[in-house]
Amino acid sequence: MLLAIDTATGTVGAALHDGDGVRAEVVRHDVRRHGELLAPAVSEVLDAAGLGMRDVTAVVCGVGPGPFTGLRVGVVTALVLALGRDLPTPQGVCSLDALAHAVHLGGGGDIPAPDGLLVATDARRREVYWARYEMTPTGARRVGGPGVGPASGLPEEVRLLPAVGRGGLLYPESLTGQLEDAPLDVSPGALADLAVRLRAGTHPDSATGLLPPEPLYLRRPDAVETRAR
């Protein structure tokens, strides 16, 4: 029974996967209240599945890239939950990979799986976190990134790709291929399903897809310590 959580984008959520499918999922959209919303979301998803933390056998978390504060909330919560239940150390999953996996699964709608895909999320500072994917029969294989930078600075062949995530909505003049009805934020259910496939070795990125539970920041923080006098 796998518990998956993600706080790398504008959503805060949790999902439970039993190895065959997603048993329950809870998602809240709020870009500023990750710390307040995540623990209740975990409780709600356990209640929805009729389970308790004693039934959870593994924890995975989205490790970004994403904004500093929200991303830390998810990673630290995963570590604390695993430690408190004496579970194995949580494994990390690139949150951009989860967005691409949602397209592979269908994205909750009739989204055709394109030959190539761009995932672009809001990195603030007028930049995007991005990665490029090749769509295969067994999943979305990452072939470029993750990276961070202005949407206008991406190579032209990347900017023209079909795009998912909020980057295309924020910078339509640069990312012109935003897919209609495409997922905008990470689904913890899609992240859980991706983690199960990576663990089972049935995904094209199985050799490299699972990561340590450490945030993928990709850039230095704005807040830094001042030198001692």
CATH of 2-94+186-211, one of 3.30.420.40, 3.40.190.10, 3.30.390.10, 3.20.20.10: 3.30.420.40
Mean pLDDT along residues 80-94: 96
Give the predicted TM-score (pTM) of the model. 0.92
pLDDT tens digits, 136-182: 989 999 999 999 999 999 999 999 999 999 999 999 999 999 988 88
Helix (H, G, I), strand (E, B) or coil at 88: coil
How do the domains of the chain map onto residue ranges?
A: 2-94+186-211
Q: What gap in Å lies between CA 186 and CA 74, rounded to an integer?
A: 13
The reported pLDDT for the residue numbered 68 is 86
Mean pLDDT of the chain: 91
Write down the H helix ranges in 5-138: 34-49, 68-84, 95-105
Comparing 6-10, 127-131, 180-184, the range with the smallest average pLDDT is 180-184
Helix (H, G, I), strand (E, B) or coil at 45: helix
19 pLDDT band, cuts 50/70/90, is very high
pLDDT tens digits, 172-225: 999 999 988 889 999 999 999 999 999 999 999 998 889 999 999 998 765 556
Number of C-beta neighbours around residue 84 at 10 A: 9
Mean pLDDT along residues 47-70: 95
